Amino acid sequence: MLNKSPYLIFSIAGVIGISFWIGFNVNLLPTEASINAPIYDELFKILFIIGLILFIGMTILVVYSLFKFRKREGQIGDGIALEGNLKLEIIWTVIPSIIVLIVGLYSYNIYDRMGGMNELNHDHSVMGNNSEKIWAGISQKDSNDVGLMDTNIEVSAMQFAFLFNYPNGNFISGELHVPVDQKISVKMESKDVIHAFWIPEFRIKQDIIPGQPTILNFTPTKVGKYPIICAELCGPYHGGMRASIIVEEQSDYENWFNQNKKDQVKV
Ligand SMILES: [Cu+2]
């Protein structure tokens, strides 16, 4: 057993090293386009590396065992039965428990840094002035506020589309336009069943629930056009329920807004 230890240590170190290298050099996620994205990606990287260590380690162990413990010529039966190995059982209980605990604490930290534990700003204009109860997803930390934009956008979800209402401009758009580097707060309502508003490039997702308005805060950091995807199975055409968010410079956003805005109809 002792003379095998250096090989074992070398193999484990090799698997961990390769996993870290892949984890830091292979990017499986789309571009990072909001302030939440880099925070979320830290956690993803750690989970990816843990998954790689398990996958590569187990694959090597299975392939090694196939050759090492194969049936030899003239061999009859499976050999002596083994029962229990306290040392091994303690190791395979303690190590995963520590890993799960660390991942749990780290996830909490990430959720907190993304603003998940923050109370919403109840004075914000999108809340309206009535006492309607609004549930919310991720809020934003004050330190992340690069600017406060009174965008006042309402998202309506229905089978099978998203509509974006800009009450300040008195118009409805099929595309969500927002200015870059501004804190955006959208109020979301469903006309029928449960939908979910997901922007993979922003790493945020929030359910849209009938009879229960929700709020989602985000700050886009990269100009571009990104998909908005319904991430809740909402009916036969759920797969086609998509829209686009267009993140643009402040002046471009204002141009677009002014081109679309309609004068209020006076009554
Ligand atoms: Cu949907």
pLDDT of residue 211: 87
Mean pLDDT computed over 202-221: 88
> What's the 158 CA to ligand 1 centre distance in angstroms?
7
- What's the average model confidence in pLDDT over 20-48? 92
pLDDT for res 221: 93
pLDDT, residue 233, reads: 94
Farthest-apart Cα atoms in the chain, separation: 98
Q: What's the 210 CA to ligand 1 centre distance in angstroms? A: 12
pLDDT grade, residue 267 (50/70/90)?
A: low
Listed residues: CB within 5 A of ion ligand 1: 195, 230, 234, 241
**Centroid of ligand 1 to alpha carbon of 194 (angstroms):** 7
pTM of structure: 0.78
Q: Does residue 53 register a pLDDT over 90?
A: yes
Separation between Cα atoms, residue 244 and residue 205, nearest integer Å: 14
- pLDDT of 128 > 60? The answer is no
Between 210 and 77, name the one with better pLDDT. Answer: 210
Ligand 1 center–CA 242 separation, angstroms: 8
**pLDDT(162) > 70:** yes
Domains, the chain, in order of start with CATH, read 7-69+85-113 (no CATH), 125-260 (2.60.40.420)
Looking at per-residue confidence, does 52 or 112 come out higher? Answer: 52
Does residue 146 contact residue 181 with C-beta atoms inside 8 Å?
yes
User: What's the CA-to-centroid distance between 121 and ligand 1, angstroms?
Assistant: 27
pLDDT of 141 > 70? The answer is no
* Interval between CA 192 and ligand 1 midpoint (Å): 9
Task: Determine the distance separating the centroid of ligand 1 and the alpha carbon of 205, expressed in angstroms.
Answer: 13
